[in-house]
């Protein structure tokens, strides 16, 4: 079932790019090369006004965000269909983390990071999500120090409201200590509801520890110690999450990074998930 926009919603509920297309090579998330243009028109039809861009290491420099002509086209599509792009998930940083490389390989990955920031500045993307999970997870203090050193080098490239925001598997207190090492004006946290549920974290403890640094939220559900599942069928305590976010004063975006439609009805499923989130927000 496809529903219209939620005009009375004060917060923005957006979607992760690719969620309105068939999965690429069976992956739950990847840049939708065949349909990235069509997703703008589809978003307008469904009443979505917010999209989070995705960027993979594979074909990184071919991505429309990374070329002048591509950026021009993205701007035109965004204006034509009324879709804002305020954030980007840098899966490329997780797939090839510079803080796990050395020498010329590290330099090359940092150079790519600079190019991504420059591209984001030109197109008006404010939040660059760096996933410190899966292949990008911090495994020791040396990697953490390498990450911090590299980001200090490129911090001057952040313009206006731009921030680098971390998605992390650190426990609440450790993540609070970690983010305190970065200036709040340029760095923050992307809170992923599903990832936290999979790790068995208490959302009230998490958000109580670092809620003031959360600037973007990914909405998905996962089973404890397992994979992404349809909203409401996993271990995420959405009522507790939205209540805690409201209590800490969060007023940022909510991005649907949800499970893919089993029946191929990606538009209907995404709209259904949006309605679920809106109901949880109203009840918070």
Is 98 among the domain residues? Answer: yes
Is 266 among the domain residues? Answer: no
Angle, CA of 231, 225 and 181, to the nearest 5°: 95
Distance CA 229, CA 16 (A): 16
- CA of 234: how far to CAs of 217, 225, 256, in Å? 18, 10, 15
Is 231 among the domain residues? Answer: no
Is 57 among the domain residues? Answer: yes
Which pLDDT belongs to residue 27? 86
| Number of domains present in the structure of the chain | 1
Instruction: Give the closest residue to 205 by CA, choosing from 235, 240, 168.
Output: 240
Distance CA 15, CA 204 (A): 25
Distance CA 81, CA 83 (A): 6
Is 274 among the domain residues? Answer: no
Token representation of residue 147: 């990450």
**Torsion 127-161-189-242 (CA) sign:** negative
Which pLDDT belongs to residue 8? 42
- Annotate 200-218 with DSSP letters as a single string: T--HHHHHHHHGGGEEEEE
Token representation of residue 23: 């999965």
Instruction: Name the one residue in this structure whose structure tokens are 């450790």.
Output: 174
Domain of 129, CATH number, reads: 3.20.20.150
Burial of 85 (C-beta count, 10 Å sphere; 0-12/13-18/19+): buried
Virtual torsion, Cα 196, 130, 32, 49, nearest 10 deg: 80
Q: pTM of this prediction?
A: 0.95
Query: Could you tell me the mean pLDDT of each successive run of 10 residues in the chain, 284 residues long?
Result: 41 95 88 97 98 98 98 98 98 98 98 98 98 98 98 96 98 98 98 98 98 98 97 97 96 96 93 97 93
Which pLDDT belongs to residue 24? 87
Which pLDDT belongs to residue 28? 86
- CA of 168: how far to CAs of 134, 199, 214, in Å? 9, 11, 12
- The answer to whether the CB of 74 falls within 8 A of the CB of 64 is yes
Which pLDDT belongs to residue 10? 65
Is 156 among the domain residues? Answer: yes
Which pLDDT belongs to residue 1? 30
Distance CA 125, CA 148 (A): 22
Which pLDDT belongs to residue 3? 36
Which pLDDT belongs to residue 283? 94
Is 5 among the domain residues? Answer: no
Is 279 among the domain residues? Answer: no
Which pLDDT belongs to residue 167? 98
Which pLDDT belongs to residue 25? 83
Q: What residue numbers bound the domain in which 46 lies?
A: 13-191+200-216
């Amino acid at each position: 079932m496809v529903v219209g926009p939620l005009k009375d919603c004060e917060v923005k509920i957006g979607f992760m790019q690719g969620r309105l297309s068939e999965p690429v090579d069976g992956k739950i998330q990847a840049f939708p090369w065949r349909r990235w243009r069509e997703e703008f028109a589809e978003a307008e039809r469904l009443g979505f006004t917010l999209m989070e861009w995705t960027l993979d290491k594979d074909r990184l420099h071919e991505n429309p965000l990374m070329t002048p002509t591509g950026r021009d086209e993205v701007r035109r599509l965004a204006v034509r269909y009324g879709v804002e792009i305020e954030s980007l998930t840098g899966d490329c940083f997780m797939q090839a983390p510079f803080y796990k490389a050395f020498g010329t390989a590290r330099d090359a990955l940092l150079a790519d990071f600079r190019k991504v920031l420059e591209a984001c500045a030109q197109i008006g993307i404010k939040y660059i999500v760096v996933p410190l999970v899966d292949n990008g997870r911090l495994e020791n203090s040396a990697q953490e120090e390498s990450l911090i050193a590299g980001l200090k080098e490129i911090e001057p490239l952040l313009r206006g409201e731009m921030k680098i925001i971390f998605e992390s598997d650190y426990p609440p207190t450790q993540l609070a200590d970690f983010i305190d090492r970065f200036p709040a004006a340029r760095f923050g946290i992307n809170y992923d509801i599903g990832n936290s549920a999979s790790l068995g974290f208490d959302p009230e403890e998490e958000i109580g520890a670092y809620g003031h640094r959360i600037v973007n939220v990914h909405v998905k559900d996962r089973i404890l110690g397992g994979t992404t599942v349809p909203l409401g069928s996993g271990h995420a305590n959405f009522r507790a999450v939205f209540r805690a976010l409201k209590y800490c004063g969060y007023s940022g975006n909510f991005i649907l990074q949800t499970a893919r439609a089993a029946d191929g009805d990606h538009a209907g499923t995404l709209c259904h998930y949006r309605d679920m989130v809106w109901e949880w927000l109203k009840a918070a």
